[in-house]
Structures are given as structure tokens and as C-alpha cells.
A and B are shown apart, each in its own frame.
Chain A
Amino acid sequence: MLTIENIEVTYHHTVQALRGLSLEVPDGKIVTLLGTNGAGKTTTLKAASNLLALENGEIGEGRIAFKGQSIMTVQPDKLVQQGLFHVREGRRIFSEMTVEDNLVAASYALDERKAKADYEKIYDFFPRLKERRKQIAGYLSGGEQQMLAFGRAMIARPELILMDEPSLGLAPKVVEEIFDTIRRLNAEDGVSILLVEQNAGVAFSVADYGYIMESGQIVMEGDVDTLRNDKDIQSFYLGVGEGDERQSFRDVKHYKRRKRWLS
């Protein structure tokens, strides 16, 4: 579905954000991309949806292909129409417009496919949005805003969704709901998903395959089961202790807690 090969991205010609990153999202699978803050996860998604130019970013080398075709020269709006939808970090709903208008705005993605937007489907999926369809979206709760962000993605009937930290700032209960939705989207509509997360636990619960990135490179990849059983991952992403004996923080030297795969 999506292949990223060896890309390098620089911002403002000076700051190198990605250095030779490669990853692949197979058809109908959920792939997760984990990493610390500033590792370049969001930049990877922006590169794939071609939004970098708006922020003075530039893809130097490498190739990105969506459904086998290079996207490097395709405008972002055309990419959406081909079926690649980017749910951005922090939800980015249009807070001054009503819920309904937010969904209508997303229906631009269908323009060239001559398909009709199916609003009822969204409202069936999220009954709470139906109750609030005439409300200004900025006044929705965080969870409802995330639902709206998902609703917008579903209106566009994408084949691939790039999802940037859907759990950001949400209560654990709401996070669970959101991830149920992700599972449903994947199972019922066969949408492939590239999921960027900080919360490795929930990400592993839905994903098929995972990549770990650091300083703009992939440092580890594998099936979710393999990753989950990896010692380092357990220690640094899942918060499982390294040994059986209880450790006191006094005994652990601070610098030891920082694992670097690259030196």
C-alpha cells in the first residue's frame, strides 16, 4: 500500500529530521511506528502525505510510493482523492465550524471519485456526533473531537489512514474506545493504517507489525509479538521491570535508563 524507501528530510535546508528511513505498510494491515519525542515520527507522516512543503521541509533523497506510484510530485489534495488520508496530531478539527460542516469539508476528498458522502454511516458509528451535529466543533470534548477527526477520515473513504497519536490527551477509557474504532475500521472496511503512537501498550494491542525509530532512522522492526517480548522494548516502552527483584531508584544510575540503539 505504502512504501517509504530511504528518505531524507531537511527543514529550512539545515535541520535534518529523517536520515534514510524506510518502512512499508502492506495492504489491509495495521503498522505502528513508535519512538521518542523528536524522533521524526510526525515528519514521516507528513512526508507521506506531502505536507512538508508547507512547512519548509524538503525530501532530499529516497522514494515514497502509494499504491505503487510515486507521490513526490502529487499535491496533497490529489493524494487524498487517491485514498490516502492523514489524521493529524492534535486532531486539528475546524473548531469554528459545526460538526456537520467539518464532515462536509472532508467530502472534498470524494470529488474526483464521483462518490457520494455517506454521513449516516459516520453518525451510526458515532451516535454522539449525531446529537451534536449542529454544534460548533470547538466546544466538543476531547474524545468527541477525536471521533470527529475519525469521522472526517471515514467520509473520505480512504484505503490508507496515517494516524498521528490518536490517544493524545485522552482519558484511558476514551483511548480504548478510539482504538476499538481503529480495529473496526481495519476489520470492516479493510483500511490499512499507519499508526504513530507514544502509548506502546495500546498500539501493540491493535497493530500487526511495528517499527521503532530514533533520530530519524528505523532502529528495530518486527511482528508485534516479537517486539512485545523484546527485553529492551519491554523496559523502555512498556514499562516492565528488567529483573524479578525490586529495584530501588537509588540503585539505578540515571544514565543507564536511557537506551540508545545508535551511538
Chain B
Amino acid sequence: MGQFVQFAINGVMAGAIYALIAVGIVSVYKATKVVNFAHGYLIMFGAYFYFTFSVIIPNQPWAPEWLLSWQPDWLVAQKADLPMFSPMGAVLDWVSNLPRIVLGLTGALIANAIVGRIIERVLMRPLMGQSVFAMIMVTVGLISIMSGTASLIWTADAANVPFLSPSAPVKFEAFGTTIFLLGTDLVNMVLALLMFAAIVAFVKFTKGGIAIRATAEDQSTAYSMGISVPKVFSRAWVLASTTGAIAGAILATRNGISPSLGLFGFSVLAIVLMGGLDSYVGVLIAAMTVGVLEAMTQWKLGGSWAEIVPYVAVLIVLIWRPHGLMGQKEVERI
């Protein structure tokens, strides 16, 4: 039972990150009806930007020393008294990394927002009014462009990036076994869920959200009612790329950085289809389900099965409900 809880928690933590990635795909789909196949590569850019701003720049000779490792007197004094491997030590390590984490996150957010805006402005907007299929094909083309560009820019070996939060281990007893978690994973989960909730609340309850939903349903009517559709488009892309930047930073600390990070987007695309392309709630449920299923198969059947079983579940759900768990079917008057 204790093992079960351990793996369930692991699954939920992975699911939260899937959900954060999925938000980007759903937001772009809701506003523009475009399924963004290149979202995984936006995340990869986010990860690389985080790496650039939190590792490469602080290591430059011209960068101030405190940026790489902040060591104020009180920190050094406190560190000296600590025993090895104490949780407090992890927190203090984190504090001295704090400047470059902040620089890394803000840098990744801004840079990725710019990338998202450029994609929308240069590639998507000229296609407005054309068939959506054309735009979807453009996102497929973007995959090659983005993975190629990434390997051109970031030739350096990706070193370790700093964790977003202290990586002190958290231990507690449940059902007679010790549950072991990393503090940073917990914080990542909370961060991902908070961002998810904020976005859902924005779309559901604010006027800006109404503009997004109106555009999603009928572009030209929204346009003819004073809603600036191009603005809604570019906001959706910026939203996708900024949430992607955070997700990228989290993934970079968990799995390291490589160009194959972009492939992650495809497994999340499957999750999004399972949840329903335009339903945040459905996607959250699907992300959690896949996360937990993955953890459980890993526990019972081993790692090689973990990549297959959840996606078989996705297929079954899609056969049973082609619109996904909570995808919107068109409202029909009876």
C-alpha cells in the first residue's frame, strides 16, 4: 500500500507537468482552431532559454560573480555550522543559486514569448481566413525549423541547470513504509497546478476569456462585434509559449536538456486528444490519468511498458469518445 501511494504521488507530479504543457496546446486550439504540433519544440526552446540564462550567461567572464553563486556573509556563516546532507543545506544552496534561477526564468519567459509572437505574426496571421488545415501544416513544418535552429544555436553541451526550488528530500510515513519525495518535484507540481488554475479561471470568468471563447466559436462574428481577433490570436500564442517556457524549465531540471525534448510534445498531444481538445478540465483529468498510469505500469511491469500502456488507454478512450473525455460537441437545438 505504501508503495502504491509513493507511485501514485509520483504519477500525479508527472501529470501536473503534462497538464501545464497541455494548457498551451489547448489555449492555441481554443482561440485559433489550430492544433499546434510544434508545441513540444516551443517547450524545448523554453528549456534551452532557461539553460542560456541560468548557466551560460552567469558563467561568462563578464558576468558578476554573485550571479553565478550568491554568497552573502550571513549565508556563508550559516552554512559553516551545518552538518553534511542536512535539508537546511539544500535550502541554502538554493538561495545562493537564486539570482541565476530568477534570471533564467524571466529570461526564458520573455524570450519564449517573443518566439511565440514571431510565429504568430510571421507565419500564422498571413494565413488568417484561409483553411485551418494550412496553419496546422505550418506548425508541422515548424518542427523541422525549430529543431534545426536549436541545434544551430546551442551547440554547447547542456550542463546541469539549477533546480527551481530547494531539492531537499521530503520523507514521511504512510501505511508502514517511508514515502520519499524531492522537494523540488513538489514545488514544480504546485507551480504547474497554480498556473493551470489561473489560466482556467481567466478563460472562464474574465472578459478576456469571453473574447477567446467567442473567437473560438465564430471568428468572423467575433471580429464584427469589436473583438480584435488578431489580438486574441497573438495572446493565445504568447500564453502557450510562456507556459511552455515554465514547463521547459521544469523539464530541464528533471530530465536534462536535449533536442529530443521536443518529442515530449507529441505524447502530451495524445493526452490533449484524450481530454478533449478544447476542454481544460478534461485535459487535466487526462493528464493526471496518464501520469498515474505511467507510474503504476512502471512499478508493476517495468519501465519499458510505461511508454506503451498509458497511450493504449488514450486510444481506448478515443474509440469510446471521439471528442475526448470532455471535448465540446456542437450545441444542437432539439
Type the 1/0 row for A130-149, where 1 means its CB is closer than 8 Å to any CB of B.
Answer: 00000010111000000000
**Does B228 belong to the interface (CB within 8 Å)?**
yes
Docked complex: A65-79 residues within 8 A CB-CB of B: 75-77
Contact among B213, B223, B330 with A54 in the assembled complex (CB-CB below 8 Å): B223
Q: Which residues of B contact A105 (CB under 8 A)?
A: 210-211, 213-214, 222, 225, 227
Q: Which residues of B contact A107 (CB under 8 A)?
A: 207
Type the 1/0 row for A102-140, where 1 means its CB is closer than 8 Å to any CB of B.
Answer: 001111111100000000000000000000000010111
B272 to chain A: closest CB distance in Å? 19
Whether A54 and B219, one on each chain, are in contact in the complex, defined by CB atoms closer than 8 angstroms, is yes
Per the CB 8 Å criterion, the residue count for chain B at the interface is 27
Q: Quick one: closest B residue to A52, CB to CB?
A: B129
Whether A53 and B129, one on each chain, are in contact in the complex, defined by CB atoms closer than 8 angstroms, is yes
Docked complex: A160-174 residues within 8 A CB-CB of B: none
Whether B333 and A139, one on each chain, are in contact in the complex, defined by CB atoms closer than 8 angstroms, is yes
Q: A94-B218, A136-B331, A138-B331 are in contact. Are A81 and B223 (CB under 8 A)?
A: no
Whether B210 and A97, one on each chain, are in contact in the complex, defined by CB atoms closer than 8 angstroms, is yes
Bound-state CA distance A169–B284 (Å) is 41
Bound-state CA distance A139–B207 (Å) is 22
Bound-state CA distance A105–B217 (Å) is 12
Contact among B226, B229, B328 with A106 in the assembled complex (CB-CB below 8 Å): B226
Bound-state CA distance A72–B217 (Å) is 26
**Does B221 belong to the interface (CB within 8 Å)?**
yes
Whether B331 and A92, one on each chain, are in contact in the complex, defined by CB atoms closer than 8 angstroms, is no
**Does B224 belong to the interface (CB within 8 Å)?**
yes
Bound-state CA distance A4–B119 (Å) is 37
Whether A111 and B224, one on each chain, are in contact in the complex, defined by CB atoms closer than 8 angstroms, is no
Whether B229 and A96, one on each chain, are in contact in the complex, defined by CB atoms closer than 8 angstroms, is no
Q: A54-B220, A96-B213, A96-B217 are in contact. Are A111 and B331 (CB under 8 A)?
A: no
Whether A77 and B226, one on each chain, are in contact in the complex, defined by CB atoms closer than 8 angstroms, is yes
Q: Which residues of B contact A85 (CB under 8 A)?
A: 224-225
Chain A contact-residue range equals 20 to 34
Whether A139 and B224, one on each chain, are in contact in the complex, defined by CB atoms closer than 8 angstroms, is no
**Does A152 belong to the interface (CB within 8 Å)?**
yes
Whether A97 and B226, one on each chain, are in contact in the complex, defined by CB atoms closer than 8 angstroms, is no
Whether A77 and B213, one on each chain, are in contact in the complex, defined by CB atoms closer than 8 angstroms, is no
Q: A101-B213, A104-B207, A138-B332 are in contact. Are A54 and B129 (CB under 8 A)?
A: yes
Bound-state CA distance A97–B331 (Å) is 10
Bound-state CA distance A139–B211 (Å) is 21
Whether B229 and A92, one on each chain, are in contact in the complex, defined by CB atoms closer than 8 angstroms, is no
Type the 1/0 row for A15-59, where 1 means its CB is closer than 8 Å to any CB of B.
Answer: 000000000000000000000000000000000010101111000
Q: Which residues of B contact A104 (CB under 8 A)?
A: 207, 210
Bound-state CA distance A110–B227 (Å) is 10
**Does B128 belong to the interface (CB within 8 Å)?**
yes
Q: Quick one: closest B residue to A84, CB to CB?
A: B224
Bound-state CA distance A156–B222 (Å) is 13
Whether A111 and B213, one on each chain, are in contact in the complex, defined by CB atoms closer than 8 angstroms, is no
Q: Quick one: closest B residue to A110, CB to CB?
A: B226
Whether B223 and A77, one on each chain, are in contact in the complex, defined by CB atoms closer than 8 angstroms, is yes
Docked complex: B149-204 residues within 8 A CB-CB of A: none
Q: Which residues of A contact B226 (CB under 8 A)?
A: 77, 80-81, 106, 108-111, 156
Contact among A55, A92, A139 with B221 in the assembled complex (CB-CB below 8 Å): A92
Bound-state CA distance A28–B28 (Å) is 42
Bound-state CA distance A101–B206 (Å) is 10
Q: Quick one: closest A residue to B128, CB to CB?
A: A54
Bound-state CA distance A110–B217 (Å) is 21
Q: Which residues of A contact B328 (CB under 8 A)?
A: 96
Q: Which residues of A contact B223 (CB under 8 A)?
A: 51, 54, 76-77
B213 to chain A: closest CB distance in Å? 6
**Does A88 belong to the interface (CB within 8 Å)?**
yes
Q: Which residues of A contact B211 (CB under 8 A)?
A: 105, 108
Q: Quick one: closest B residue to A95, CB to CB?
A: B331
B55 to chain A: closest CB distance in Å? 43
Bound-state CA distance A140–B210 (Å) is 19
Whether B217 and A95, one on each chain, are in contact in the complex, defined by CB atoms closer than 8 angstroms, is yes
B230 to chain A: closest CB distance in Å? 8
CB pairs A–B below 8 angstroms (23 shown)? A49-B224, A51-B223, A54-B220, A77-B223, A77-B226, A77-B228, A80-B224, A80-B226, A81-B226, A96-B330, A101-B214, A105-B214, A105-B222, A105-B225, A106-B225, A106-B226, A108-B226, A109-B226, A136-B331, A138-B331, A139-B331, A139-B333, A156-B225
- Excluding A80-B225, A111-B226, 17 further A-B contacts by CB distance (< 8 Å) are A54-B219, A55-B220, A80-B224, A80-B226, A86-B224, A92-B221, A94-B222, A97-B217, A101-B214, A105-B210, A105-B227, A108-B226, A108-B227, A109-B226, A138-B333, A139-B331, A140-B333
8 A-B pairs with least C-beta separation: A138-B331, A109-B226, A80-B226, A108-B226, A54-B129, A105-B214, A92-B221, A77-B228
